[in-house]
Each structure stands twice: as C-alpha cells, then as structure tokens.
Amino acid sequence: MNPPDPDGPAPPPRPYAMPASPVSPVPTVAPGRYVIVEGGEGVGKSTQVAALAKRLEAAGVTCAVVREPGGDPFAEAGRELLLGDLDRTPAAEVLAFNALRAQLLESVVAPLLAVGTWVLADRGRLSTIAYQGYGAGADLGWTRRVCDLTISLCPPNLEVVLDLDPVVAAERRTARGSDDRFERMDLGFHQRVAHAYRHEAERAGITVVDADGTPDEITDRLWAVVGPLRPSP
Ligand code: Z5A
C-alpha cells in the first residue's frame, strides 16, 4: 500500500475539446546552428571562432561565441577550478568538464539556438575525449559514453577539428605567452592529444581542417564547411 499522496487525488481528466476559435499561428524562427571548433592548444581555435563569427555576421547571421570550459557564471567559476592545480583523478575530471558542459548547453546554447542565434563554440565534447581520455588516461569507452550522454542535451550541427603539428602549436603558444595546467604538460601529452583528435575524427567522420597557414587561409577553409549550414534563401 503506497503512502497517501501529499498533493491529494489527481483531478478528473478534462474532456478534450476543440478550441472555440482557431489558434493564432505561433511565430517561428529558423533554429540557429551549433558549431564546435576543436583542436589542441595554439592551433588557432579562438582566432578562427572570432573570424567565423565576423563572416557570419557579415552574411546576416546572428551569432554568439562561447568557450569551454565556461560560458556562464557557474561554468566560468568551474573553469577556474579545472584549469587550476588542485589534484584530481582522470574520471573526476571527465565528470567535471561534462558538468560544466551541461550547464553551458542548457543555460546558454539551447536558448540561443531556439531564438535563431548561431553558437560558435571554442571546444566541446571531443576535448574531454582527447585530453582526459587519451591525454590523462581516463577509460576511453567510459569517457566517450559520458560525453555522448552530455552532448545529447543539445547535439551540435557540426564539429570541426583544426589540425596542426604540436611543435608549431607550441611555438604559437610560446609567442603568445600563457601558462595553465594543460599548457604546462610536456610535448608527449600534446602529441597524444593531437593524435586523439585525428583518430576520433576519422572514427566518427568529423571534418578535419589543416590549421597551417595564415589566419585568413584557415578561415577560408573553415568557411567552406560552415557556410553551407546557412539555410538557402
Ligand atoms: N580542456 C580539457 O582538458 N577538457 C575539456 O573537456 C575541455 C578543455 C573543454 C582550456 O584552455 C583548457 O582546458 C585546454 C584543454 C582543457 N587546455 N589548455 N591549455 P583555454 O581555453 O585557455 O585554451 P585553448 O582552448 O587551448 O586556447 P588557446 O591556447 O588560446 O589556443 P587556440 O584558441 O587554439 O589558439 P589562438 O588563441 O587562436 O591562437 C594562439 C596564438 O597563435 C595567438 O597568439 C594567435 O594570435 C596565434 N595564431 C593564431 N592563428 C595563427 C596562424 N594561422 N598563424 C600564426 N599564428 C597564429
């Protein structure tokens, strides 16, 4: 015998009735597109996401740029923790990146897409697979499953990997001068990450774009895959 429901008995079902007058049409907007740009540090993701946003705006598309980890106050606070030096296990790191991703997807990305805004993301699901799975040694199958579950909250329209020799990427990073937990990892770690992106892209049929060249050349290559996502006029 179940305990009494504190809300009391459910009200009797209301008979279904057609509305007296026709429902006025709900204005609809074409949903936005969610595009994730991926790759190791220094390959030029932030540069390219900004350049793509400019091209889209010039083509009349409203867009927003987000980054992972981060994107809203909760996720930005989590970013501080994750890029900091406190010890954590690989599995804890997988879950933490995914928790911040869930926050970003539900609180920022999905609402923007719903009003027709495109979202260009600097990193996403593949970063966790590459850094925590291949790089830090979290169980790969488990990591993929956790990431798939999270991204199912708001699946992207396109993931694209920028591919660059980790030695060249390290030179770019050094020229810029920055330093966090992941940037301090040795070249072997960054090579594992670069291999991970190539392997995962091949495995899942994800587009890889050569990130060697001038920023404009790379934007042209990206535009060739992002531009066609625009609805035809
Ligand atoms: N991380 C993780 O482990 N797991 C996860 O699930 C997620 C993230 C989501 C986020 O750091 C860290 O979190 C990241 C992995 C980890 N590790 N690190 N470090 P972040 O967001 O601060 O860093 P990032 O994503 O790697 O960004 P980055 O280092 O700034 O790299 P980038 O965005 O790919 O590059 P950039 O900033 O556009 O360019 C780097 C420099 O190169 C800059 O001075 C540019 O002016 C220059 N540049 C750009 N393009 C060119 C070309 N074409 N030629 C020459 N120079 C160029």
Of ligand 1's atoms, which has the minimum distance to the CA of residue 43? 34
Q: Is residue 14 part of a domain?
A: no
The answer to the question of residue 84 being in a domain is yes
Transcribe 123-192 into DSSP letters. Answer: S-HHHHIIIIIIIT---HHHHHHHHHHHHTTS--SEEEEEE--HHHHHHHHHHH----TTTTS-HHHHHH
Q: Which residues are near ligand 1 (CB < 6 Å)?
A: 39, 41-47, 67-69, 83, 97, 122-123, 127-128, 131-132, 172-173, 176, 180, 182-183, 214-215, 218
pLDDT digits (tens, 9 = 90+) for 146-155: 999 999 999 9
Q: What is the domain extent for residue 171? A: 34-228
Q: Distance between CA atoms of 63 and 78, rounded to whole angstroms?
A: 24
Spatial distance between the Cα atoms of 166 and 211, rounded to a whole number of angstroms: 11
Confidence class of residue 217 from pLDDT cuts 50, 70 and 90? very high
The residues pairing with 158 across neighbouring beta strands, listed in sequence order, are 35
Residue at 65 is within a domain: yes
Q: How many domains does the chain have?
A: 1
- How much is the average pLDDT of 177-195? 81
Residue 189 placed within a domain: yes
pTM of the full structure? 0.89
CATH number at residue 78: 3.40.50.300
Structure tokens at 33: 């597109």
Q: How many angstroms separate the CA atoms of 140 and 94, rounded?
A: 10
Q: Each residue of 55-90: pLDDT tens digit?
A: 999 999 999 999 999 999 999 999 999 999 999 999
Q: Residue 71: exposed, middle, or buried by beta-carbon count in 10 A (0-12, 13-18, 19+)? A: buried
Contacts of 141 (CB under 8 A, 6+ apart): none
Distance 48 CA to ligand 1 centre (A): 10
From 76, 82, 172, 184, give the residue whose CB has the most ligand 1 atoms within 8 Å, as the site to mutate: 172
**Which residue's CA is the nearest one to ligand 1's atom 16?**
182
The residue whose CB lies within 8 Å of the most ligand 1 atoms, and thus the one to mutate among 49, 174, 176, 190, is 176
User: Is 233 a member of any domain?
Assistant: no
144 vs 188, higher pLDDT: 144
Separation between Cα atoms, residue 229 and residue 207, nearest integer Å: 14
pLDDT tens readout for residues 16-62: 444 445 555 565 778 999 999 999 999 999 999 999 999 999 999 99
> Does residue 220 lie in a domain region?
yes
**40: in domain:** yes
Whether 28 is covered by a domain: the verdict is: no
Is the distance from CB of 103 to CB of 161 less than 8 angstroms? no
CA of 89 to the centre of ligand 1 (A): 23
Q: Is the dihedral of CA 81, 84, 86, 87 positive or negative?
A: positive
